[in-house]
Structure 1
């Protein structure tokens, strides 16, 4: 059993309702982590979810804090949220280099997984911005300098290129369609295990004595429709396989 930290995969939505000359706003809090959490817990892993709004204040800041986990998953959470702790952004007080600590922890034996989304990799309007950080060094892929999203509204199916790799959890057949992903470029020593639309979908590599991996589409709607993340038994096998390979 591994202890897994999932950071991100939550958001607050604010809506404005206009009715004639009157208007009001409503807010809602949504989590997208449940399919991934249930998949990993179903395989015996302990999962700690850190919602996106808590990441700036609470994400682990050094090797000792990261040592509580075997695998760290970043999913739909941008670099700013990890870099800009409240004391740094609000009070201009120097803080910890948390992306540097995460990079070093991975290099020294940790397991790092980045899952795609509008605020993953480079992201929507390049706002995720991981290309400009030291964590880029630890990823098995090169990130684009511009908005890297590829929307596939008609859906596309993954092509498995390394069915025997343990990080795929034994899944080799037809995958349900996905509706988009972040485009990345594999590094020289990276193994691309599955592609989507000809680009890497699942890619893994060693980094120092640790390991890193990417799943460039989503782990929940909207890029991952419910037939993929809720109805397909391969979902738990793929993400379970990734976490177990990273933890090894």
Structure 2
């Protein structure tokens, strides 16, 4: 009986002498450790005699893989948002590895494709900051349909573009200020449009490429109450047609 009590006592002391030999975090693949603590007898050296079933829940937490960021492509240019240095690229624009539009100018008008609102500009045409060609207008003196020297300079440039682009057609729109009655202004606007048409035909442009429309005083671009405004309204405008 005494021997049994002694053995039980020694086992109790051994239990108190539990030592955590290893509580290092397992690898990602292993997950949590379940072997608990190793135990040994105080009089038998380091020979392991038992292992508790305690889960190692108070060790350094098991390493977990860092959450992967779900990266989007807001502008659809095939460059992830985290790397896109030019967000908001218009759809269909070719970009480089940074997500920035390539320096492409397909119609050679000086405006890169991503900013060009009027692609396929006629060869040699002067465009605005949006890449659009808008020739004219030609302006006239009050009550006149005669083409002046400054108008001829502009029309010569227009002739060059039309000759270099035989597939381009042109709308010719005649206008007037509000001096006089509506009927007279319609006739005057028509005379101005026809004067321009004849100038272009004499310059070598086929009549079937030119389309006349007259509006009289119906579409002012400035206030007819002022001299400057009326001068702006006495005009012929050009509307290039798609080609």
TM-score in same-fold range (> 0.5)? no
Q: Work out which of the two has the higher radius of gyration on C-alpha atoms and give 1 or 2.
A: 2
TM normalised by structure 2 equals: 0.23
